[in-house]
């Protein structure tokens, strides 16, 4: 029973901190809007993808981008917890490391879902409606974000300084984003790029959400979803292991 209330306690703390740190929210929302309006608007004025306006085409990708960056960056807070010695208080509690890890994951998922929701509010501007697919979109985002937050936490559990963390994740963030099909369709890629994008879990997130929002996807949405579930499960397992090994 104390594991469950502990899980809730850790989530609650993350959520409160998230609400109190307005700058965190603002930064992760402004950035995607730049991409959408400046990059998307600029390129979109000259071409479209398969009859879809370019801005509309990248919209699902930008949602994934926003969640991707904030999810992985979320791992920095575990580094801060170490630095602030708050982590000691958590580690000395009679909770399993799995619970601590899952509590942290849920905190990060909540943050990222709130950010995604805010960006989804402007969908009508692009003439995109979700209908009943909204529930499925959240389901896909939930699974995808769980995996991504785990990546951040795993890296964070290994790092001692926030600077080191920032350096490492910039090598993770940008490839995941640029090689995900968020900004271009996957059907005409040169072979090497094709291979890499197919190894990138974010690709399936973008594809599924694009399918659910715009009705066009490269793979079947079920296929995307199953792969995302496998990706997230694997990372939860690795993450639990990483937290067990984590030292102060």
161 makes contact with another protein (CB under 8 A): no
**Dmax of the chain from CA atoms?**
59
73 makes contact with another protein (CB under 8 A): no
Residue 208 and residue 231: Cα distance in Å, rounded? Answer: 14
**Beta-bridge partners for 132:** none
Q: Could you say which of 26, 41, 45, 83 contacts another protein (CB under 8 A)? A: 83
Using the minimum distance from each CB to another protein, give the nearer residue, 6 or 201: 6
Q: Could you say which of 95, 119, 149, 169 contacts another protein (CB under 8 A)? A: 95
Pure H helices in the chain? 2-20, 22-34, 40-44, 54-73, 76-83, 86-91, 97-120, 133-158, 162-178, 191-199, 201-214, 221-245
Q: Could you say which of 30, 46, 85, 215 contacts another protein (CB under 8 A)? A: 85
Using CA atoms, how far residue 9 sits from 31, 79, 200, in Å, is 31, 19, 33
Q: What is the DSSP letter of 37?
A: I
Which span sits near another protein by CB under 8 A: 85-93, 167-175, 196-204, 230-238? 85-93
Which span sits near another protein by CB under 8 A: 14-22, 56-64, 206-214, 216-224? 14-22
89 makes contact with another protein (CB under 8 A): yes
161 and 169 Cβ atoms separated by less than 8 Å: no
Using the minimum distance from each CB to another protein, give the nearer residue, 79 or 140: 79
Residue 204 and residue 223: Cα distance in Å, rounded? Answer: 8
For another protein, what does the binding mask look like between residues 107 and 146, x meaning CB under 8 A?
----------------------------------------
245 makes contact with another protein (CB under 8 A): no
Pick from 141, 153, 155: nearest CA to 65: 141
Using the minimum distance from each CB to another protein, give the nearer residue, 21 or 160: 21
Applying CB under 8 A, which residues contact another protein? 1-2, 5-6, 8-10, 12-13, 16-17, 20-21, 23-24, 77, 80, 83-95, 248
């Amino acid at each position: 029973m104390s594991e469950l209330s502990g899980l809730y306690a850790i989530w609650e703390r993350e959520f409160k901190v998230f609400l109190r740190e307005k700058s965190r929210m603002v930064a992760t929302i402004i950035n995607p809007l730049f991409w959408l309006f400046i990059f998307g608007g600029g390129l979109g004025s000259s071409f479209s993808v398969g009859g879809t306006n370019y801005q509309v085409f990248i919209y699902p990708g930008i949602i994934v981008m926003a969640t991707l960056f904030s999810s992985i960056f979320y791992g920095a807070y575990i580094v801060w917890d170490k630095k602030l010695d708050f982590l000691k208080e958590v580690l000395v509690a009679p909770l399993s490391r799995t619970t601590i890890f899952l509590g942290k994951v849920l905190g990060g998922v909540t943050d990222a879902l709130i950010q995604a929701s805010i960006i989804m509010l402007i969908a009508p501007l692009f003439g995109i409606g979700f209908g009943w697919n909204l529930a499925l979109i959240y389901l896909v985002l939930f699974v995808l974000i769980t995996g991504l937050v785990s990546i951040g936490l795993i890296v964070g559990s290994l790092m001692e300084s926030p600077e080191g963390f920032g350096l490492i994740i910039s090598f993770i963030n940008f490839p995941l984003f640029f090689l995900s099909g968020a900004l271009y369709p996957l059907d005409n890629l040169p072979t090497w790029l094709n291979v890499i994008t197919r190894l990138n879990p974010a690709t399936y997130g973008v594809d599924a959400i694009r399918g659910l929002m715009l009705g066009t996807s490269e793979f079947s949405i079920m296929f995307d979803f199953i792969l995302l579930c496998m990706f997230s499960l694997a990372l939860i397992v690795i993450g639990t292991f990483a937290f067990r090994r984590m030292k102060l």
